[in-house]
Amino acid sequence: MSTPDSSSAASTRSDPAPGGSGGGDHTVVGVDVGGSGVKAAVVDLATGELASERIRIETPHPATPEAVAAVVVELLDRLGGADRVGVTVPAVVQRGVVRTAANIDDSWVGTDANALFARALGRPTAVLNDADAAGLAEMRFGAGRGRTGVVVMATLGTGIGSAVFTDGRLVPNTELGHLELRGMDAEDYAAASVRENEHLGWKKWGHRVGRYLRMVDRLFSPELFIIGGGVSKHLDHYMHHVRDKMHSDTEVVPAHLLNQAGIVGAALAAQEEASS
């Protein structure tokens, strides 16, 4: 059963009118596939706001491609269908084909996800990496709006996702969460889930994030870091700890779209693919 997700901060409207997605006459739905939930909503691409309630179904276990596709079909049904659909997955996606599976079922590797969802939904579907989608949404509607130069978004959640932009253009699949830091995968050292699992205080975890950003800062010299993931709303609490270990004054700001960035970015990708 899907449930309305009351944590959504967006204005809600459960019966999207034709054209209400801001995608011309098209209704555009974004779907965000995460480790615990699959979330979807109609997106108003003129404003970046949700044009329906955000609905969520628990991620199936095991989260095989077919099981996830069935969930996406159910979410689309409950939203009343869509003309265009974009789907995020927490993996490298090249031309619709999933190449890695750090936090999803191994059976995704080699899956043509574009073809899978297109078959299941009966329409073309854009599939992209979850952090890339969140970054696209922030660059269009949120913290990166109007920003040029190199911008790096880091999403701190179960893993660490990344999206790198140069003059507003995405370099997809950067996977900076898997850089090596202190002899381990950076996401196993500094993801938000590590703070919870290891019961780290804000200071200790903030220092880890600072060391991580320092490494990325040295590699990419961005003009702006955007921090995403649920933990970004507390950035004020731990930013001074992050700064202590960053050793640079590169601007660091929290994401604006919070838990709807993936949905909005997926819808943007669907719209862009349809018009390319």
Q: Is 129 in the site for ligand BGC (CB under 6 A)?
A: yes
Task: Give the SS3 label for residue 76.
Answer: helix
- Got the DSSP string for 59-71? PPSS--HHHHHHH
CB of 45 to ligand BGC, least distance (A): 22
Across the chain, how many H-helices and E-strands are there? 8, 16
Q: Which of 94/166 has CB closer to ligand BGC?
A: 94
Q: Is 103 in the site for ligand BGC (CB under 6 A)?
A: yes
Give the CA distances from residue 95 to residues 57, 128, 169, in Å, rounded to whole numbers and listed in that order.
26, 9, 17
Mark residues 58-97: x for contact with ligand BGC by CB under 6 A, - for none. --------------------------------xxx-----
Q: Is 179 in the site for ligand BGC (CB under 6 A)?
A: no
Q: Residue 251: in which H helix or E strand, if any?
A: strand 251-254
CB of 130 to ligand BGC, least distance (A): 5
Q: Which of 35/122 has CB closer to ligand BGC?
A: 35
CB of 135 to ligand BGC, least distance (A): 10
Burial of 23 (0-12, 13-18, 19+ CB in 10 A): buried
What is the rounded CA–CA span in Å between residue 28 and residue 186? Answer: 35
Residues near 127 by beta carbon (within 8 Å), at least 6 away in sequence: 86, 87, 88, 89, 93, 96, 98, 113, 114, 117
Q: Is 22 in the site for ligand BGC (CB under 6 A)?
A: no
Q: Which of 20/177 has CB closer to ligand BGC?
A: 177
What is the rounded CA–CA span in Å between residue 92 and residue 95? Answer: 10
CB of 161 to ligand BGC, least distance (A): 3
Q: Is 161 in the site for ligand BGC (CB under 6 A)?
A: yes
Q: Is 131 in the site for ligand BGC (CB under 6 A)?
A: yes
Q: Is 254 in the site for ligand BGC (CB under 6 A)?
A: no
What is the rounded CA–CA span in Å between residue 96 and residue 89? Answer: 11
Intra-chain end-to-end CA distance of the chain, in Å: 35
Q: Which of 111/155 has CB closer to ligand BGC?
A: 155
Question: Which of 187, 250, 254, 265 lies at the binding interface for ligand BGC (CB under 6 A)?
Answer: 187
Q: Is 175 in the site for ligand BGC (CB under 6 A)?
A: yes
Amino acid 25 reads: D
Q: Is 217 in the site for ligand BGC (CB under 6 A)?
A: no
Residue labelled with tokens 């404003």: 47
What is the rounded CA–CA span in Å between residue 109 and residue 93? Answer: 10
Q: Which of 48/157 has CB closer to ligand BGC?
A: 157
Q: Is 100 in the site for ligand BGC (CB under 6 A)?
A: yes
* Chain contacts with ligand BGC (rule: CB under 6 A): 90-92, 100, 102-103, 129-131, 155, 157, 159, 161, 175, 177, 187
